């Protein structure tokens, strides 16, 4: 993918094109950026006006920089100065800019829907009432903790550990991440089947190494998390002393779960997270646990088998549950209920939750405006109901047709590229082209819209709406177990500024939200658009053949269709990328993790090669004079500038650090230069000499 998607992703999804555009934390919901002005909202309060950035952004160019020395600084050198980071954002880049434009569009739809009227459709009633309840801060303050009390009472009523499975199931169904994860996925080795999975989970910090890394910064962050957990518990009624005591016990419990969790780099390997087991085998690892009661509370069908993604996790989990006193386990659940509900609780909870997850983790000084957070919360809860209206109002049909043309051009380029590879055998090439020809292309929005008729939404129940929406989506996902796969289903909402490849579906997906400036700009020539959205298409297509995607065949099954010698050559080439990106220092003393980011780096590099190949063919067919200049640049130059400007950014160091430690995508700067140095067409486009920084003597090339 380009970036991590909003909402709970189904296990097994390929990571998307960019970095987290949505959640910085439970209750924080969204962060954004863009060019700002002022306009009066329906409540007569000033509100920013967000404008799209053009596909070819002349204002970001720094022509004093030699493009052969540092192409990112040449293409994006003035971006940061032109786009200071607002206090309510962790950073500014092209994704956030368009994300805010889309949020603004969604807000207009939602304010109209929230105003009511007899003309509202059933879906408009739901999205309008959800938004209205979310925006009603006075009602939220007046209700206090009453809306969350039923969940807290469920926890308080637990008298023995034997009662935990049912309570855990109820909490997880409501979207509360406790102890472990449970959900639905396509069977990696039989993509026609939909099965259950269990997974490691239950941590309050972003991932396992936040609990285990040494160093002053990590120790400080752990102390801040400890204080935060204690404060949340005390806000809910515990004394400050008791809250801190419970926080220390919770930290000890979560640290044990972290130690039992698989590192993020290992989780990238689909073979390491696939262990299909009979349910009896799994239950033998959790002796004395009434797993059926958990499944019933989760509204899951009974299953005969499941994928135990990390078999080592559950024995360790059971050991910790057995050795931890019940009071601590209940405090642990209480905290996770509070943090997941904070955005719909009184301000004191919301502010404290943001202070840790937004300010301390990501360096964001202020929380995003409520209208932004609520608009995107509706998109997360009722994405296709809101998306249907969004598509009707904002998605131009001609962009879908042009997008499909570009997709076909780039798929054809990959076919030619496979034919030309000197390191792949004829046998593997046949299988690679079989997989390529089987890739399905989904553009804009689903063919059939989701039915939300059974989801109850009230105009005066903010938290209740969220919990019911979580339960509705949980039930929808789990109901798929044992049923035929719906190949028309989307995992992103239409307004999402993102794209993704799904290895089990073997499809590439481009929501309507990303098909507008700067990524697709109908006012720009093909050179710019193939550099922008063309590289996105190539990126997602290449994911089907990166170190993860290569393990899935044309039917979406985890299957080794490579010869042993070809795999050896492939790994030698990807090792080059691991070393290249692993040498980049992202912030302070933190380097990019070349192994964690390998899939995304492979997709960036290969996708850009394919997009350029496709553009040259398109230009040839259209009789474009490649040497003719527009805005002072030839078509090949505009292509590469367009690509680099996908990654213009201005980010807080805390945000970059968190990204490098947890995210499979490299920081934006390195996504530009890291791919450019490996492009065979770049040197000629800018007349760069071999051995210059952007045209090294030795470069990496996989696809």
Q: Could you please report the per-residue DSSP string of 95-159?
A: HHHHHHHHHHHHHHHHHHHHT--TT--HHHHHHHHHHHHHH-HHHHHHHTTGGGHHHHHHHHT--
Burial group, residue 683, by CB count within 10 angstroms (0-12, 13-18, 19+): middle
Residue 520 backbone zone (phi > 0: left; psi -120 to 50: alpha; other: beta): beta
Question: Average pLDDT by consecutive 10-residue portion of the chain (703 residues)?
Answer: 39 43 29 28 58 96 98 98 95 95 97 93 97 98 98 98 98 98 98 98 97 96 98 97 98 98 97 98 95 98 97 97 98 98 98 98 96 97 98 88 96 98 97 98 96 98 98 98 96 97 98 96 96 98 98 98 98 97 92 97 98 98 97 98 98 95 95 97 98 96 95
H-helix or E-strand containing 650? Answer: strand 649-651
> Per the residue annotation, which of 199, 409, 540, 566 is the catalytic one?
540
- Rounded to whole angstroms, how far apart are CA atoms 365 and 348? 17
Residue 588's pLDDT is: 86
Residue 2's pLDDT is: 59
Closest CA to 298 of 113, 542, 475: 475
Mark 353-390 as b/e (b = at least 16 C-beta within 10 Å).
bbbbbbbbbbbbeebbbbbbbbbbbbbbbbbbbbbbbb
HSE toward the beta carbon, residue 389, CA cutoff 13 A: 25
Residue 540 is among the residues annotated as catalytic for this protein: yes
Residue 245 is among the residues annotated as catalytic for this protein: no
Tokens of 537: 């298409």
For the chain, the C-alpha Rg in angstroms (whole number) is 25
> Per the residue annotation, which of 154, 417, 604, 668 is the catalytic one?
604
Mark 660-674 as b/e (b = at least 16 C-beta within 10 Å).
bbbbbbbbbbbbbbb
Tokens of 400: 């879908």
Q: At residue 658, what are phi and psi to the nearest 5 degrees? A: -60, -40
Dihedral sign of CA atoms 49, 362, 513, 445 in order: negative
- Rounded to whole angstroms, how far apart are CA atoms 457 and 474? 16
Strands (E), 258-374: 276-278, 305-308
Q: Taking the mean position of all CA atoms in its chain, how far away is CA 153?
A: 33
The dotted CATH code for 146-344 is 1.10.1380.10
């Amino acid at each position: 993918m380009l970036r991590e998607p909003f909402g709970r992703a189904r296990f097994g999804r390929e990571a998307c094109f960019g970095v987290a555009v949505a959640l910085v934390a439970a209750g924080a919901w969204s962060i954004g950026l863009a060019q700002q002005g002022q306009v009066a909202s329906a409540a007569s309060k000033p509100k920013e006006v967000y404008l799209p950035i053009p596909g070819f952004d002349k204002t970001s160019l720094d022509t004093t920089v030699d493009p052969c020395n540092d192409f990112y600084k040449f293409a994006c050198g003035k971006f940061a100065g032109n786009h200071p980071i607002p206090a309510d954002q962790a950073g500014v880049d092209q994704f956030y800019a368009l994300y805010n434009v889309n949020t603004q569009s969604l807000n207009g739809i939602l304010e109209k829907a929230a105003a009511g009227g007899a003309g509202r459709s059933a879906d408009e009633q739901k999205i309008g009432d959800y938004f209205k309840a979310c925006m009603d801060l006075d009602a939220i303050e007046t209700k206090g903790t009453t809306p969350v009390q039923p969940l807290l009472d469920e926890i308080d009523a637990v008298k023995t550990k034997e009662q935990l499975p049912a309570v855990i199931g109820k909490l997880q169904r409501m979207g509360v991440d406790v102890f472990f994860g449970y959900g639905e996925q396509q069977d990696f080795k039989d993509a026609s089947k939909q099965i259950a999975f269990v997974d490691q989970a239950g941590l309050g910090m972003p991932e396992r190494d936040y609990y285990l890394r040494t160093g002053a910064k990590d120790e400080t962050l752990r102390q801040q998390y400890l204080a935060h957990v204690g404060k949340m518990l005390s806000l809910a009624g515990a004394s400050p002393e008791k809250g801190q005591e419970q926080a220390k016990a919770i930290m000890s419990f979560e640290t044990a779960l972290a130690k039992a969790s698989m590192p993020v780099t290992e989780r990238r390997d689909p073979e390491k997270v696939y262990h299909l087991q009979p349910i009896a085998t799994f239950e033998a690892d959790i002796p004395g646990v009434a797993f059926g009661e958990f499944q019933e509370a989760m509204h899951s069908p009974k299953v005969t088998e499941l994928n135990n993604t990390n078999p080592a996790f559950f024995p360790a989990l059971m050991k910790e549950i057995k050795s931890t006193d019940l009071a601590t386990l209940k405090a642990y659940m209480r905290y996770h209920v509070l943090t997941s509900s904070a955005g719909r609780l009184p301000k004191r909870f919301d502010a404290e939750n943001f202070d840790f997850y937004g300010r301390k983790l990501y360096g964001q000084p202020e929380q995003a405006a409520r209208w932004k957070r609520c608009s995107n919360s509706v998109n997360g809860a009722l994405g296709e109901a809101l998306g249907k209206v969004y598509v009707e109002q904002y998605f131009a049909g001609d962009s879908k047709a042009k997008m499909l043309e570009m997709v076909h051009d780039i798929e054809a380029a990959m076919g030619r590229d496979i034919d030309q590879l000197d390191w792949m055998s004829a046998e593997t090439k046949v299988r690679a082209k079989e997989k390529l020809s089987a890739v399905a292309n989904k553009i804009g929005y689903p063919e059939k819209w989701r039915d939300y008729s059974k989801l109850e939404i009230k105009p005066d129940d903010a938290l209740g709406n969220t919990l019911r929406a979580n339960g509705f989506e949980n039930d929808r996902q789990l109901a798929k177990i044992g049923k035929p796969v719906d190949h028309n289903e989307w995992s992103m909402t239409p307004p999402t500024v993102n794209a993704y490849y799904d290895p089990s579906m073997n499809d590439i997906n481009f929501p309507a939200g990303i098909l507008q400036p700067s990524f697709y700009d109908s006012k720009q020539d093909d050179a710019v658009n193939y550099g922008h959205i063309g590289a996105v298409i190539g990126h997602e297509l290449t994911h089907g053949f990166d170190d993860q995607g290569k393990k899935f065949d044309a039917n979406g099954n985890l299957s080794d269709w490579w010869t042993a010698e070809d795999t050896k050559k492939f790994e030698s080439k990807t090792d080059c990328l691991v070393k290249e990106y692993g040498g980049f220092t992202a912030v302070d003393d933190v380097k990019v993790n070349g192994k964690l980011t390998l899939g995304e780096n492979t997709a960036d590099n290969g996708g850009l090669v394919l997009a350029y190949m496709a553009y040259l063919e398109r230009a040839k067919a259209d009789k474009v004079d490649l040497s003719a200049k527009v805005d002072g640049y030839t078509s090949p130059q505009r292509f590469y500038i367009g690509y680099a400007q996908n990654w213009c950014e201005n980010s807080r160091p805390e945000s970059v650090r968190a990204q490098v430690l947890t995210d499979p995508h490299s920081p934006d700067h390195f996504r530009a230069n890291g791919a450019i140095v490996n492009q065979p067409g770049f040197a000629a486009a800018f007349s760069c000499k071999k051995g210059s920084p952007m045209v090294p003597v030795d470069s990496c090339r996989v696809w």
